[in-house]
């Protein structure tokens, strides 16, 4: 039994409505899609809560809600910066989820499309928005069907004052970057863009644009219905509060999406996905923008982002992935994949990343490294923070993490050996068809 989390979670309407409860603080996301009658059964009254702009900012500030797309930016701060644009704004919900290991946004859109759409409607109403968009992931037809069915129901019942326009996001790792989403909505390619102004000032059709992750919108809908004090009664006393979605990916590529109360031990969350941690060589925390670490370094942690941050860790967009392959080989695959995703606009990205991928690949596969392993550190220093977007930093963090967390294995590789059986890496369970390696 976990003493740190509250019993309130059992009564929380939830990002996951499921009969399958993995523990007192974890629910397993079903693939079942909830229609509007299901939505009302789970969440109550047909009338959506009306929240004005000031109350919305106050509400999300009170619960300390951070964006769920990975960067974890405080939602209240982002919303507050829209204050002078109320009445002229565009609202965008980003469900493009380009992290290869992530499945929580697509699962949420399949499971509770109405909750996401209700969150968009609440934010659009508070901002007096003229237009609202929902960007969803490519290829998953179940997402498209669930969202289209929910939009049909909502149109018939005239639920949304601001109609939500669904759009399919382009493929590729950088297509989910906020500026790339804006570019796509502006009819341009999926490359991240350099705007003279931030999207908040000039985004879609050059209008002030509020963009956030779909889980963030769904959470706003839940808080608006249940109340900030309900949300604050879950999680760690004094904060952080609430719950969040996680994708747990096992070594064989199977995954489970769960909603876990903040403060839940990671061992319980991982156990709910039936991952054999004793057989794992390494864990990818936070996805391709996170660190590769030893399983023993995370197993005693709790789902508490500020505490994990002190250790340089985090779950990013809610990702915990396991591997039983060599972590150096795994890292080389990820860095090579990220190098293949450059939009070709910034030197440190399109020149630096292939060079970094080459050196990490040499280390992984026992090739001679004329300049030694120090070259990886030197290239990482040259690339870090110098891209037009943060994508190259992900490759740098991955490369640095194996040097720091697996020094013995790195030394073995320097002498052309490896303590793992030769074989193909599985990129922490990433589905191969989701990778586009050059």
Distance from chain centroid for Cα 198: 21
Candidates 343, 359, 246; CA nearest to 303 is 246
Q: Nearest distance from residue 401's CB to ligand SF4, in Å?
A: 20
Stretch that binds ligand SF4, among 202-210, 214-222, 332-340, 341-349 (CB under 6 A): 341-349
Q: Judged by CB under 6 A, does residue 350 bind ligand SF4?
A: yes
Q: Nearest distance from residue 191's CB to ligand SF4, in Å?
A: 6
Q: Nearest distance from residue 349's CB to ligand SF4, in Å?
A: 3
In whole angstroms, what is the distance from residue 107 CA to residue 297 CA? 29
**Range 97-136, binding ligand SF4 (CB under 6 A):** none
Q: Judged by CB under 6 A, does residue 172 bind ligand SF4?
A: no
In whole angstroms, what is the distance from residue 319 CA to residue 298 CA? 13
* Contact present, 105 and 215 (Cβ < 8 Å): yes
The residue from 183, 233, 342, 405 that contacts ligand SF4 (CB under 6 A) is: 342
387 contact partners, CB below 8 Å, separation of at least 6: 346, 348, 349, 393
* Contact present, 368 and 362 (Cβ < 8 Å): yes
Can you spell out the DSSP letters for 413-427?
A: HHTT--SS-S----G
Binding mask 298-337 for ligand SF4 (x = CB under 6 A): ----------------------------------------
Stretch that binds ligand SF4, among 6-14, 69-77, 388-396, 407-415 (CB under 6 A): 388-396
Q: Return the structure tokens found at 128.
A: 């007096």
Binding mask 270-299 for ligand SF4 (x = CB under 6 A): ------------------------------
Q: Judged by CB under 6 A, does residue 343 bind ligand SF4?
A: yes
Q: Nearest distance from residue 341's CB to ligand SF4, in Å?
A: 7
The residue from 388, 410, 420, 435 that contacts ligand SF4 (CB under 6 A) is: 388
DSSP helix/strand/coil, 92? strand
Q: Return the structure tokens found at 373.
A: 């392993």
Stretch that binds ligand SF4, among 102-110, 211-219, 290-298, 382-390 (CB under 6 A): 382-390
Q: Which residue is nearest to ligand SF4 (CB)?
A: 387
* Contact present, 330 and 430 (Cβ < 8 Å): no
DSSP helix/strand/coil, 212? strand
Candidates 12, 438, 431; CA nearest to 218 is 12
Residues binding ligand SF4 (CB under 6 A): 174, 191-192, 342-346, 349-350, 387-389, 391-392
């Amino acid at each position: 039994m976990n003493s740190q989390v509250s019993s309130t979670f059992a009564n929380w309407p939830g990002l996951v409505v499921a009969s399958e409860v993995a523990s007192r603080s974890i629910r397993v996301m079903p693939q079942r899609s909830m229609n509007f009658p299901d939505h009302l059964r789970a969440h109550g009254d047909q009338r959506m809560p009306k929240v004005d702009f000031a109350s919305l900012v106050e509400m999300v500030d009170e619960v300390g809600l951070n964006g769920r797309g990975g960067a974890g930016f405080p939602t209240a701060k982002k919303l507050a910066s829209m204050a002078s644009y109320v009445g002229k704004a565009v609202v965008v919900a980003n469900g493009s989820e380009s992290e290869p290991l992530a499945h929580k946004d697509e699962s949420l859109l399949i499971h509770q499309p109405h909750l996401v759409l209700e969150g968009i409607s609440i934010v659009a109403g508070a901002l007096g928005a003229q237009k609202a968009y929902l960007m969803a992931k490519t290829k998953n037809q179940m997402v498209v069907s669930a969202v289209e069915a929910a939009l049909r129901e909502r149109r018939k019942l005239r639920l949304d004052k601001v109609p939500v326009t669904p759009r399919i996001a382009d493929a590729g790792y950088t297509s989910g970057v906020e500026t790339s989403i804006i570019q796509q909505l502006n009819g341009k390619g999926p490359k991240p863009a350099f705007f003279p102004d931030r999207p908040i000032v000039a985004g879609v059709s050059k209008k002030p644009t509020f963009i956030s992750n779909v889980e963030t919108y769904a959470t706003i809908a839940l808080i608006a219905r249940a109340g900030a004090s309900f949300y604050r009664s879950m999680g760690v006393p004094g904060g952080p509060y609430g719950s969040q979605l996680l994708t747990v990916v096992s070594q064989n590529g199977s995954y489970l999406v769960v909603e876990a109360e903040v403060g839940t031990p990671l061992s319980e969350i991982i156990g709910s996905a039936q991952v054999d941690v004793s057989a794992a060589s390494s864990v990818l925390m936070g996805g391709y923008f996170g660190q590769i670490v030893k399983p023993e370094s995370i197993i005693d942690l709790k789902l508490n982002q500020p505490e994990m941050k002190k250790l340089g860790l985090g779950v990013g967009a809610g990702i915990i992935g396991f591997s039983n392959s060599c972590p150096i080989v795994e890292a080389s695959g990820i860095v090579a994949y990220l190098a293949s995703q450059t939009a070709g606009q910034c030197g440190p990205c399109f020149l630096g990343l292939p060079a970094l991928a080459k050196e990490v690949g040499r280390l992984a596969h026992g090739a001679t490294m004329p300049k030694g392993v120090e070259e990886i550190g030197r290239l990482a220093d040259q690339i870090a923070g110098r891209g037009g977007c943060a994508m190259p930093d992900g490759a740098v963090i991955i490369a640095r993490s194996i040097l720091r967390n697996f020094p013995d294995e790195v030394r073995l590789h320097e002498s052309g050996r490896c303590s793992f059986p030769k074989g193909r890496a599985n990129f922490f369970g990433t589905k191969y068809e989701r990778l586009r390696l050059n």
